[in-house]
């Protein structure tokens, strides 16, 4: 009966027909177009048009409300009927609402309730569509909810379980982008049901492209096929795709792989309110110095992904190691080599009540739609919060719960690859590090052998663009006379370039390089670095990925040393 509806609308219809619920929250991709299958093909319409003209098309009255526009109607007949009822009320009560309708929720809901009850008595069928519902009943702690918000909540809650409304052909549809932005009491009400509208899948995107541009017209504006465009636009909604197609038509700029990738990046970052940032690099794992066994392990993951064996991949990686060991660089290089987009989560926390959870809900929805995708979270011990965090009205614990639940969804295995990076894995909650979330723990260490030190030097020489007057490997590096992490090496070589530039030279002589390396004094925190290194050792989930000097160390002795270092550092 509802086969021509999208999945969410079929679910909506089935739940309403159960006759036990009349209030629904539509959330997610609510500002997009809705695909509607017809005999002549698939049409794409706005959500409110779909609800009023198709889904509730048989209702006698369809009423809309939002704070900005106030009350408005599907058709003139409904408006005339409402105005007649309002005129009668004005004459009885002495108000003048027929000439100037109120827009605030409390007075609007008071008028609508009286109107609905009279029309339900007359056996009329009614649908009320409330847009931007988060502005009517926003997320607030109970003690801080304004009087107007509480009153609006009472009206909506009453309509949801009033026997008269439940027995009638009456439905309230509340529309909001983020479920977390709505008052929890309303969301958790057993008489209210939530329906998620997802970002379109590949098949739907392909249908939309064909709908927007017939095959011949499409060929004129694109160098890649419709199928490829549909694949490459994962994470975008129909309006985003229309924007790409329109830009190609209007500006006579053909769609190419590069332009498509750039447009997708810009649109998704905008869609996520700037809370997601695409990580891009020209480097590959070949440019990572040292960490030979870790690179080999990651390359096996690359092969599995390219072979379509998502089932063998871990849900996520915990990458740990002392500061300067190249955690971020390694992960970035992996993403470039595997050929899937990598995004970095920016600060989604807000001082305003409910906004943090709403931001995170939006981000997680986009990640699911963009799959396959890699997600990088730097300083994960500080970023992700804790289940037991307090002092911020429970925001940190709710954020932790949202992320932990999402990370453990096994349907995302091989689709969303998490990389949590930290120098202090001991500070991270066990819930995030356990199997089923960040399953594979990789530990990175500073170079230890002569070969590793020289490899790091060569890699950093390339990264910094250091030009020497002759091939030269400094003795201080070759013989290990001074210890350099990757970050230390990069800083020291940059100083050598600075010295040469001060002398008006582009190339660095061996003498200047030796001077810079011998002069360089990295900030020294030996106990902190040792603590970070031993924490990485104890955290690593694969013995063969550890350097030989750590493989046979007694774990109980390492744990004792870690506790001693923590006590000494304070």
Structure tokens at 118: 């009279």
Residue 542 domain flag:
yes
| Contact present, 533 and 495 (Cβ < 8 Å) | no
The verdict on 264 and 378 lying in the same domain is no
Residue 343 domain flag:
yes
Provide the number of structural domains found in the chain.
4
Question: Which H, E and C letters describe 1-41, residue by residue?
Answer: CCCCCCHHHHHHHHHHHCCCCCEEEEEECCCCEEEEEECCE
> What's the CA gap between 53 and 62, in Å, rounded?
9
CA dist 443 → 92, 241, 285, 383, 407 (Å): 77, 41, 16, 20, 21
Q: Is 141 exposed, middle or buried (0-12, 13-18, 19+ CB in 10 A)?
A: exposed
The residues with which 422 forms a beta bridge, in sequence order, are 320
Q: Which helix (H) or strand (E) holds 510?
A: helix 510-519
| Averaged pLDDT in 10-residue chunks for the chain of 570 residues | 84 88 94 88 91 94 95 93 85 75 91 93 95 90 65 93 92 93 89 93 91 89 90 90 91 86 84 80 85 90 84 90 87 84 79 71 85 87 68 69 85 89 87 83 86 87 90 87 84 93 92 91 78 89 86 87 85
The verdict on 506 and 371 lying in the same domain is no
The verdict on 59 and 164 lying in the same domain is yes
> What's the CA gap between 166 and 314, in Å, rounded?
47
Global pTM value: 0.74
> What's the CA gap between 371 and 272, in Å, rounded?
15
Q: Is 468 exposed, middle or buried (0-12, 13-18, 19+ CB in 10 A)?
A: middle
> What's the CA gap between 87 and 96, in Å, rounded?
8
| Contact present, 497 and 464 (Cβ < 8 Å) | yes
pLDDT at 360: 83
Angle of helix 105-121 relative to helix 147-161, nearest 10 degrees, comes to 20
Helix-then-strand count for the chain, H and E: 25, 14
Letter string b/e over residues 516-541, b meaning 16 or more CB atoms within 10 A of that residue's CB: bbeebebeeeeebbebbbbbbbbbbb
The verdict on 455 and 433 lying in the same domain is no
Residue with tokens 């379509």: 308
444, 469, 487 - which closes a domain? 444
> What's the CA gap between 130 and 64, in Å, rounded?
6
For residue 548, what are the domain limits?
A: 448-570
Instruction: Identify the CA nearest to 447 among candidates 421, 409, 485.
Output: 485
The verdict on 335 and 456 lying in the same domain is no
Cis peptide before 372 (omega within 30 of 0): yes
The verdict on 211 and 117 lying in the same domain is no
pLDDT at 352: 63
271, 305, 328 - which closes a domain? 271
The verdict on 235 and 316 lying in the same domain is no
Residue 278 domain flag:
no
CATH no. for residue 335? Answer: 3.40.50.300
Residue 310 domain flag:
yes
Residue 279 domain flag:
no
The verdict on 487 and 396 lying in the same domain is no
The verdict on 417 and 535 lying in the same domain is no
Residue 280 domain flag:
no
> What's the CA gap between 523 and 510, in Å, rounded?
24
Instruction: Identify the CA nearest to 438 among candidates 544, 278, 313.
Output: 313
- How many residues belong to the chain? 570
Residue 20 domain flag:
yes
The verdict on 48 and 193 lying in the same domain is yes
Residue 549 domain flag:
yes
pLDDT at 205: 92
The verdict on 294 and 418 lying in the same domain is yes
| Contact present, 200 and 208 (Cβ < 8 Å) | yes
| Contact present, 248 and 221 (Cβ < 8 Å) | yes
CA dist 496 → 275, 452, 470, 479, 524 (Å): 37, 21, 14, 19, 20
The verdict on 49 and 102 lying in the same domain is yes
């Amino acid at each position: 009966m509802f086969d021509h509806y999208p999945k969410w609308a079929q679910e909506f219809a089935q739940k309403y027909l159960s006759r036990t619920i009349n209030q629904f929250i539509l959330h997610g991709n609510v500002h997009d177009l809705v695909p509607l299958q017809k005999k002549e093909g698939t049409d794409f319409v706005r959500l409110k048009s779909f609800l009023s003209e198709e889904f509730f098309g048989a209702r006698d009255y369809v009423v809309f409300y939002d704070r900005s526009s106030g009350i408005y109607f599907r058709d003139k007949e409904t408006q005339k009927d409402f105005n007649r009822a309002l005129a009668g009320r004005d004459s009885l009560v002495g108000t003048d609402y027929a000439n100037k309708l109120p827009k605030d929720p409390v007075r609007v809901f008071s008028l609508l309730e009286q109107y609905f009850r009279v029309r339900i008595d007359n056996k009329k069928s009614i649908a009320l569509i409330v847009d931007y519902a988060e502005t009517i009943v926003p997320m607030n702690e109970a003690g801080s909810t304004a009087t107007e918000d509480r009153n609006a909540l009472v009206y909506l809650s009453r309509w949801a379980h009033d026997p008269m409304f439940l027995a009638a052909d009456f439905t309230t549809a509340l529309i909001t982008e983020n479920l977390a932005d709505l008052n929890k009491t309303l969301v958790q009400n057993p008489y209210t049901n939530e329906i998620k509208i997802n970002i379109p899948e590949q098949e739907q995107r392909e249908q939309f492209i064909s709908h927007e541009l017939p095959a011949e017209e499409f060929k004129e504006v694109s160098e890649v096929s419709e199928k490829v465009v549909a694949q490459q636009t994962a994470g975008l909604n129909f309006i985003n795709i229309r924007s790409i197609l329109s830009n190609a038509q209007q500006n006579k700029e053909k769609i190419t792989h590069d332009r498509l990738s750039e447009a997708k990046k810009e649109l998704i970052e905008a869609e996520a309110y700037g809370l997601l940032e695409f990580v891009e690099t020209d480097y590959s794992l070949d440019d990572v110095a040292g960490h030979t066994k870790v690179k080999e392990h990651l390359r096996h993951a690359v092969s599995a992904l390219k072979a379509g064996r998502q089932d063998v991949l871990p849900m996520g990686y915990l990458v740990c190691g002392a500061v300067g060991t190249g955690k971020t660089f390694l992960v970035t290089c992996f993403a470039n080599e595997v050929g899937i987009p990598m995004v970095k989560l920016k600060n989604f926390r807000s001082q305003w009540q409910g906004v943090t959870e709403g931001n995170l809900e939006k981000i997680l929805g986009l990640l699911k739609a963009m799959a396959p995708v890699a997600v990088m979270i730097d300083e994960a011990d500080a970023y992700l919060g804790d289940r037991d965090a307090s002092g911020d009205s429970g925001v940190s614990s709710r954020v932790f719960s949202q992320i932990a639940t999402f990370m453990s969804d096994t349907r995302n295995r091989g689709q969303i690859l998490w990389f949590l990076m930290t120098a202090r894995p001991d500070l991270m909650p066990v819930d995030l590090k356990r199997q089923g979330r960040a399953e594979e723990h990789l530990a990175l260490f500073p170079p230890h052998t002569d070969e590793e030190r020289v490899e790091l030097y060569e890699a950093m020489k390339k990264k910094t663009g250091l030009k020497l007057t002759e091939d030269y490997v400094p003795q201080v590096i070759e013989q290990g006379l001074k210890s350099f992490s990757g970050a230390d090496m990069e800083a020291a070589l940059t100083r050598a370039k600075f010295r040469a530039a001060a002398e008006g030279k582009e190339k660095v002589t061996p003498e200047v390089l030796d001077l810079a390396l011998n002069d360089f004094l990295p900030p020294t925190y030996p106990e902190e670095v040792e603590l970070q290194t031993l924490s990485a050792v104890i955290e690593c989930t694969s013995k063969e990925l550890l350097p030989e000097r750590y493989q046979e160390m007694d774990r109980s002795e390492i744990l004792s040393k870690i506790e001693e270092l923590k006590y000494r550092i304070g």
